[in-house]
Amino acid sequence: MPTSWGSLVSFPLSCGFQLIVACSRLLLLFGTRPHCCFSIGEVDLVPTMEEYAELLQLDRAFSETPVIPIRGPRSNRCLEKYLGLTTAVLRPEIARPEETWRKANISLDLLTKYFSRSAFPAKLARDFIVGKKGWKKFRINAFKIAFAGIFLFPTSAGRIDLGVIPIVFSEGRSIIPAILCETVRSLSHCRRQGEGVPMFCTQLLQLWFCSHLRHFYRLQTPYHFERHTVSQTVDIALPFTGNSRDWASYLLDLPLGEWSWKVTWGPAVWKPWTHCALFDGVPLPGVWGCTGYYPSLALRQFGGVQYPPRLGDLDAVTFDYIPSEDMWRLLSRVEVIWEGRLSEVVLIEDGSPGDSSVASDFVEWREGWTPFFTLRPTVRPGTSHSLVSRSLRVSASTGQPERVTVLERELEEAQTELLSLRLARAV
C-alpha cells in the first residue's frame, strides 16, 4: 500500500510517455487486426490468458468465469459500498454520472484525499457514512480501484473509469479476459485509425513480448527485467524507447533461434484454452466492450504441435457496451460460448527436433495467408518486394471477385503506409 498516491496519477507517464508511444508504434507495425496476433517475419506470437496470468502471478485465473456485465446501473452507485463515503461527497465528484455504461469516472485526487495517509483522516470523519469504522477495508478497496483504473485500464491521466469496479470486486471471476480484451480492442482501434496511443496496460504487453526474446530470459528472471542487463545484450536503443524504427528492423533481422516460442518461466505443462465448443476462438468480455481472439495460433507457445488455427468470424463477439436488447442478447451468447471452452494441444515429446513442432499443413497454410491478413512490416522503407521471401508476403488472390475484399485490402495497405510515414516523421 503506497504511503503517497501522487505517483499513481502519472504512473503511465512516470514509465516514460515516449516509451508508451514508441511501444505502441512498434506493436502496431507488427499487429494483425483480423487474427489478433503479432507477426514479426516468420514469428507469430499471441498474448494468451495463461501467460498473462503467470506474469501477474495469479494462481487461479482460469478456474473461474470472466466478469460479464449485468443489467442495471453500472458502478457509479456502488462507491458508497466500497469506499464508505457519503452520497453528498461522491455525487459531485462523479463526472458524467448519467452515463452508467459510457465511462462515468472519478479523479484519483478524491481517493488520495481520503485514503493516502496511513491513519484515518479524523478531520474528514463527517464525510464517511460510519466514521472510522471499516476505514482500513475501504482504504484497501480504494487502492484496488486506483490500481485498476490507472494501471490496468487507463483512460486519461488522473481519471478512473468506474467501469473497473465490477472487474475488481467480482469475487470468483477472472480479470485476465478483461485485460486481454481491452488490449486487443485498443490496438485494433489504433490500427484502424493509423495513429493514437493505446489505452491499456502497455507495460504488461511489453513484458510479455520481451519474455519471448531469448536474450532477455538468459540473464534475468521473468518478473525482473533490469535495464543494464538488457543494454548488455542489445547494442542499440533499449526496448520500446528511443527509435522504434531501429527496433522494428532489429526484430525483423532476428533469426528464429533468437525467439522462444515457449517461455521458460511458465509451468512444465501448459493447459491452454484453444477454442470454445460453439466458437472457433475465445470471446473476451472487457470493461467497455467485447471481442474475441484465436489462442489456437499459440500452440507452439505452449510446447505443442502447431496446426492451422481454428478461424471463425469474430464479428459475432465484437461489440461495444451500449445498453440495448441486442447487447444483452450478445452478452448472454458470450456467456454460453465461454462455458464451452476446450483445450486441444498435442504436446511434443522430449528429444523431438525443433521443426517437428509445426505440422506440414500449417506450413502450407502459413504460406497462403488470406488477403485480409497482412504481415506488417513485411517490407521496410526502401526495400524491394522482390527481396522479401515468399513466406513474409501475402499471397495476392487474382481471382477474388468480391470488390469488398479488394477495397479492404487496399485500405489496410494504405493505413499501414500512413503509419510508417508518421513513424518516420516522428523519428
Q: Is the pLDDT of residue 106 over 60?
A: yes
How many beta carbons lie within 10 A of that of residue 88, not counting itself?
Answer: 9
Listed in sequence order, the residues at least 6 apart from 308 whose beta carbon sits closer than 8 Å to its beta carbon are 359, 361, 362, 365
The pLDDT-based confidence of 412 (bands split at 50, 70, 90) is low
The set of cell numbers assigned to 33 is: 487486426
The pLDDT-based confidence of 173 (bands split at 50, 70, 90) is confident
Higher pLDDT, 378 or 145: 145
Question: What is the pLDDT of the chain when averaged over all its residues?
Answer: 73
Which amino acid is residue 31, in one-letter code? G
As a whole number of angstroms, the distance between CA 17 and CA 25 comes to 12
Higher pLDDT, 226 or 79: 79
Q: What is the pLDDT of residue 386?
A: 31
Q: What is the pLDDT of residue 254?
A: 83
Q: What is the pLDDT of residue 265?
A: 78
Higher pLDDT, 148 or 36: 148
Over range 409-415, report the average pLDDT. Answer: 61
Q: Is the pLDDT of residue 1 over 50?
A: no
Q: What is the pLDDT of residue 190?
A: 72
Cα dihedral 420→422→423→424 (10° resolution): 90
Higher pLDDT, 63 or 103: 103
The pLDDT-based confidence of 3 (bands split at 50, 70, 90) is very low
Over range 98-102, report the average pLDDT. Answer: 63
Q: Is the pLDDT of residue 61 over 70?
A: no
pLDDT tens digits, one per residue of 267-294: 878 888 888 888 888 899 998 899 998 8
Which amino acid is residue 251, in one-letter code? L
The pLDDT-based confidence of 387 (bands split at 50, 70, 90) is very low
pLDDT tens digits, one per residue of 129-163: 988 898 999 999 999 999 998 888 888 778 888 88
Q: What is the pLDDT of residue 34?
A: 63
Over range 7-31, report the average pLDDT. Answer: 53
Nearest to 421 by CA among 27, 33, 36, 29: 29
Higher pLDDT, 295 or 386: 295
